[in-house]
Amino acid sequence: MAHINLPEFEQMSPAIQEKARPILEKTGKLGEIFKLLAIDENIYNATDVMVQNYLLKQTHLPYFIKEAIALLISKENSCKMCVDVHKNIAKMLGIDEEQIASILEGIDAMDTEERVKELLRFCIRASRKDNYKITKEDIEHLKNLGWSDKEIVEAVAITGYFNYINTLSNVFGLGEEA
């Protein structure tokens, strides 16, 4: 149960209600993170732009890597709600239960190319408070493995997004039982 009162559909601004209506019609409910963001239309809109551009659009990185980042960073940040949500999203994107389980066991348990593992390790390092210790050589290492500047920037942006959304979820107790 959230640590603050979350608005119900009727309490949301008309603009956010328009975004919420298709979700309600499809699923019958709004998640706690949606309700939390709906408290402030500016925060909702800024977050929605990130979700649309980082996670939903076809971009430089495949969906498998984006969801691996989502799961790994959310696990790293102890955000159970986000892990659970992204396990379901990963399934919808065609990632099977075994792959999801291996991601959650950790990068070394994953059956994927070493270059992908190196990018994911980099993302975990980027998610930590001492990310200022990342060097040009660390980035050059990724580039030598074949990752482009755009792919590296996108991976770090997705990492930053999950630090952001995990912080909101954790601070306000989303997904916790009453």
In CATH, 62-171 is 1.20.1290.10: yes
Q: Under 8 Å CB-to-CB from 42, ≥6 apart: which residues? A: none
What are the pLDDT digits (tens) for 95-107? Answer: 999 999 999 999 9
Residue spans of alpha helices (H) in the chain = 14-27, 32-37, 41-50, 63-76, 80-92, 97-105, 114-127, 136-144, 149-171
Token pair 């959650």 is at which residue? 104
Handedness of CA 50, 52, 55, 60 (dihedral sign): negative
Output the pLDDT for position 3.
Answer: 94
pTM for the model stands at 0.93
Q: What is the percentage of the chain residues whose pLDDT exceeds 70?
A: 99
Task: Locate the domains of the chain by residue range.
Answer: 9-55, 62-171
Output the pLDDT for position 26.
Answer: 86
